[in-house]
Amino acid sequence: MTESNRFSMDEFATPAEGGPAPETETAEDWRDDLDASADADALGNEDLVGRAGLPLQPGMPPVDDDEPIIEALREVHDPEIPVNIYDLGLIYDILRSEDGDVKIRMTLTAPGCPVAGELPTEVAESVARVRGVGVVEVYLVWDPPWSPDQMSEAARMLLDYF
């Protein structure tokens, strides 16, 4: 597991891939940054955080790579768009802990998206099925806002967006 994708209960690190330079923040700072209830208030909901999974059994090794998590994310689709949420660019951060827990920061294509209430839970459930993953928490955020520029090249080709 790379240092940039590890966190403990008191400390998180930003992912090296596609994000800002790695820096250490406290868990409280990270949660403040991911104020899901404040973001959800814009939709009139109190809680848009998805949660799934159970703590890993003692002795079970945690997932040591983001790739199985990314593959699980690629199985989740916005029902209105024929591209998975990862290639759409809706996933901002994947943070793995030493105990197998995973925190994901994601967005949607628009604040009024009709799947806002169910997609974070679907994401959490999909990632929780990955071997070596414990509890998964998904935080829905609106900053930075999503734009088509965040799509992968494969998604752009599938949607004829050039």
Question: Could you give the domains of the chain?
Answer: 3-12+23-158 (3.30.300.130)
Query: Is the omega angle on the peptide bond into residue 20 within 30 degrees of 0, that is, cis?
Result: no
Q: Kindly report the three-state secondary structure assignment for every residue of 36-84.
A: HHHHHHCCCCCCCCEEECCCCCCCCCCCCCCHHHHHHHCCCECCCCCCE
76-91 pLDDT per residue, tens: 998 888 899 999 999 9
Q: Which of 18-22, 70-74, 77-81, 93-97 has the lowest mean pLDDT?
A: 18-22
* pLDDT tens figures, 130-160: 999 999 999 999 889 999 999 999 999 998 8
Among 98, 97, 102, 100, residue whose Cα is nearest residue 70? 102
Task: Give every CB contact of residue 70 below 8 A, 6+ residues apart in sequence.
Answer: 86, 94
